[in-house]
Each structure stands twice: as C-alpha cells, then as structure tokens.
C-alpha cells in the first residue's frame, strides 16, 4: 500500500538513495554512466539533503510502498523567474523509481504537491524540465502545465542541456 510522509532529517539517507537511483533510471538513455555518476556525486550529497530537509521554504514528501521507498517530491515556496500573476511554488523535483512507472505514483505525488501549494496560499505551480526528458514533459502536459519560457542550462557531467520552464495555474479556494 502506498503512503506519503513528510521527510525530516531522519530521512536524509532515504532521500539521497532515491535521488541517485531515480536519476540514474530516468537518464541512462540520455547520458553516459560517467556523466550520471559525476552529477550524482556533485548534487546528491548529505550536505544537499540536509539543506533541503532543513529549509523552511521547502517541503519534501517521500512515498513508500509498504516499507520500501518508491518516490518523492521536493516543493520550494518561491517565485518563478518568469513573472506570473500571483505567488508561486516550484516543484523542484518529482521522481519515482522505474518499477512504479505507469502505476499512478507520479500522479499521487503531483496531487499532494498541488494541495501543499494551495495550503501555502500560492496561485501557481511551476517547474524546470530538461528538453531531453520527454517522459516528464508528456506527464506534465497531461496534467495541464504549459511551457512559459526557456529554463537554465543543466549540466550532467560534461553534457550541457537546455531546459524549459512550465507552469500550472492552481485554483486557490482560500
């Protein structure tokens, strides 16, 4: 049975493991293992996990299937670099392990992130997605996100990727 739990510092090792494994699974077709390993070593560290889990403007939710971690999202309450007509939150990361692709876990995490965004009083949910991550782009488009502009360059080892910013207007009933 799937369950979602707010992650605190006690979950840092789980978050690091999920970061690494889900990233490797999502990008092995696009990047060399050497570049993926370099990216993981640089970004998925204990220090970075502590920063995310201690940041009062961030929320990390970990999904488990029974006792097994299966996915997560990180939501950061800050405005989009492209002006939107209201306050926003960034869906910084949403990843699931490949065993859960097509089983509704991504949508469950997304819906929870939307509710967290609404509770925070935000009008928009936005994200940055690699222009090579067609699976994620398709997922977000199905959920109603629209491309709103060019995102930052993303470095995965020696690979330099273009990205796009996407946003979704959230109906705030508050």
pLDDT reading at 174 higher than 70: no
pLDDT single digits (tens) 47-104: 999 999 999 889 999 999 999 999 999 999 999 999 999 999 999 999 999 999 999 9
pTM above 0.85, yes or no: yes
39 vs 121: CA distance, rounded Å: 34
**Secondary structure of 83-116 in the HEC alphabet?**
CCCCCEEEEEEEEECHHHCCCCHHHHHHHHHHHH
Task: Provide the pLDDT for residue 79.
Answer: 92
What is the predicted pLDDT for the residue at 173? Answer: 42
Model confidence at 171: pLDDT above 80:
no
Q: Each residue of 115-152: pLDDT tens digit?
A: 999 999 999 999 999 998 888 899 999 999 999 999 99
Separation of alpha carbons 5 and 28, rounded Å: 28
Among candidates 55, 73, 53, which has minimal Cα distance to 63? 73
């Amino acid at each position: 049975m799937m369950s979602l739990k707010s992650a605190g510092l006690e979950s840092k090792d789980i978050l690091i493991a999920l970061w690494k494994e889900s990233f490797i699974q999502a990008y092995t077709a696009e990047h060399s293992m050497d570049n993926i390993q370099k990216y993981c070593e640089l970004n998925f560290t204990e220090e970075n996990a502590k920063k995310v889990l201690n940041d009062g403007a961030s929320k990390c939710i970990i999904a488990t299937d029974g006792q097994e971690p299966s996915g997560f999202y990180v939501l950061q309450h800050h405005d989009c670099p492209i002006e939107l007509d209201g306050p926003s939150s960034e869906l910084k990361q949403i990843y699931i392990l490949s065993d859960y692709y097509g089983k509704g876990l991504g949508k469950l995490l997304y819906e929870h992130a939307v509710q967290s965004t609404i509770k925070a009083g935000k009008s928009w949910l936005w994200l940055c997605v690699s222009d090579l991550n067609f699976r994620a782009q398709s997922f977000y488009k199905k959920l109603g996100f629209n491309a709103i502009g060019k995102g930052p360059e993303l470095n995965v080892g020696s690979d330099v990727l273009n990205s796009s910013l996407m946003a979704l207007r959230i109906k705030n009933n508050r």
